[in-house]
Amino acid sequence: MSHRLPVPAFLPRVLALSALVVSLGGCTTSTPLPAATSASREIGIASFNMAWAGTTAEFDRYLAVCGAPDVAWCETRARWVRGTTAATPEEEARAATCRASLLAAAGSREALMRIAPCGAYRTGADPAAERSREAYAEKLEGLRATVARLVEKEGVSVLAFQEVSGQAVVEEVLGPLRARFEVCAAPQSSFQTVAFAWDKAVTERPATCTVNDELAVVESKDEPWRRSRPGLALTLTLGGAPVTFLNVHLKSSCASLVSSERYPGRLLTDPAEACRVFNRQVPILERWIDETAVKSPRFVFLGDLNRRIDEEQAANVPKSEVRADGTDPAGPNRADANGSVTTRYLWGEIADGSPALHQVPLSPSASEEACKGFSGLDHIVVSDRVKALNEGKLLSRKVAVEEKPGQRIQTSDHCPRIVRLTF
């Protein structure tokens, strides 16, 4: 139902006889706003990295290429010795031989880019025995069971997926729920992309999906066909106004601010290759968030950020230190000829107050003992408007994936992160 406002006495009487209908949810004024025009509603939202999830047919192709005699499950990326910033010449040569063998087995670069890396699915000591069609069916079954639990037991209506090959595998994982959900995925030339699934009944108007292909930056000048993953926006109508969800899977291997035994702490200006790629995604991401805030002040930014922004928030970095040049993160973020910026901290850059952003923390009472996935990479962030609608109850939790004892290929190395939000 529309919200009807009283007409000021100084207006002509003819206007006083007209209905003044205002869609408050989409207003961009900085003054406090009333509740949304329609009755408020609470919905469940989940972000879930499904770990190289592709269709059964795509997995068959993976087996044929990676299991070829000249390939034999080799690793295409040159490994670095811990504590160094580059691989040895011998290791670079080994990786180059592996890449050449893979290309020959796939038949073309385009075909190879559509296949998961040979080391994508974690197994035991014998890849040939454990990376089988039957083992992959167990993974898909685990994904279906996990998604079914999110929907049927946790009440999730909007799901943001990462590490999927496209729309077809999301539909396969939805299984019997497929008729109830709409799906969209960002087109991508390589295997991994991002996708959404949402309950058809949750939106009051047809949903829209918009791809941010700028986020898929070229990772290396030597291999211009290798790009990072695109972003995807889903806009639903809730409470009479738009709510936009921004789904990302940012560049990996530049995740930590604080050093640990396993991972070095790095700023986004670190010379490591992964950090250089991540750095070039920052101004694109910031611009996307800024533009979304204008069009849809109620928005949710979520996904696998591959950056521990909770560590950055806890560091309480002064604004003058967010960028290496000391400029205000709320001001223009100028990129050089390569697309790089002086940003050192992701959270201080995007949560610069223009717009204001808020991390949804994990509930301190929620047990995560059953969740064996990565920690600190998957996040849910909300705009100031969404926080105001959920004051005092802005908490999320992780849910363990479904997996059978002795399962040969794990369901996922991430756990879904879920939150319930009122709009």
CA dist., res. 337 & res. 340, Å (int)? 7
Helix axes 56-66, 89-106, angle to 10 degrees: 120
pLDDT for position 418 = 97
pLDDT for position 31 = 34
pLDDT for position 370 = 67
Global pTM? 0.87
pLDDT for position 369 = 52
CA dist., res. 254 & res. 264, Å (int)? 9
Low-confidence spans in the chain with pLDDT less than 70: 1-38, 85, 122-129, 365-370
List Cβ neighbours of 148 (8 Å cut-off, separation of 6 or more): 175, 176, 177
pLDDT in tens, 117-135: 988 886 655 655 678 999 9
CA dist., res. 187 & res. 292, Å (int)? 21
pLDDT for position 125 = 54
Which phi-psi region, left, alpha or beta, contains residue 205 (left: φ > 0; alpha: ψ -120 to 50)?
A: beta
Q: What is the dihedral of CA 216, 221, 222, 224, to 10 degrees?
A: 40
What is the DSSP pairing of strand 156-164 with strand 42-53? parallel
Q: Which amino acid makes up residue 416?
A: P
Partner residues linked to 359 by β-bridges:
381
Burial status of residue 329 (CB atoms within 10 A of its CB: 0-12, 13-18, 19 or more): buried
The closest alpha carbon to 229, from 291, 165, 286, belongs to 165
CA dist., res. 401 & res. 415, Å (int)? 6
pLDDT for position 270 = 97
pLDDT for position 263 = 85
CA dist., res. 343 & res. 283, Å (int)? 9
The HSE-up count of residue 212 (CA atoms within 13 Å, CB side) is: 25
Q: Vertex 215, ends 212 and 220: CA angle to 5°? A: 145
Q: Which amino acid makes up residue 211?
A: V
pLDDT for position 384 = 96
pLDDT in tens, 222-275: 788 889 999 999 999 998 999 999 999 999 999 999 998 888 999 999 999 999
> DSSP code of 330?
T
List Cβ neighbours of 97 (8 Å cut-off, separation of 6 or more): 74
